[in-house]
Structure 1
């Protein structure tokens, strides 16, 4: 390579490898904290299923499939509500059965 070729070669430009997430207008929640809560304090098995649903939501959100991510977010929300209610019901039953 000659000196002129080195001057024209642009090595300062590095391709951007960071994935840019597009805003879809609405926030899509994964409900991780609630799923952890259900694993620890609620129904253990239902909490792990809720965590799986949270991972699915994140997977679709990162793949920019916002319609499926929104669907799995709603499924996760409903499953967490169900797991919390069942966990509370079992706890109250265990405490107050006589």
Structure 2
């Protein structure tokens, strides 16, 4: 009788170990999917924020943003008009 119980116990433990391994594999897969979704949303959020700033600048500072190219600077060290406008918008947002 005890041998039968021991074999049954071993089978249950093997099943439990297999289920636990399956859960761990599923967890890894879900974490990868969640990370990929998070990264995609962050990239989209960055683009959305930039577009919102551009839109706001055109609305809030039409005389300064009027007929200006997207990126007028030749050298990355120079401040572009766009950079100045973005800095103004950031300063105004920080006051809010």
Bin the TM-score by the shorter chain: 0.3 to 0.5
| TM-score, L = length of structure 2 | 0.34
**Greater relative contact order (Cα < 8 A, sep 6+):** 1
Q: Which structure would you say has the larger Rg? A: 2
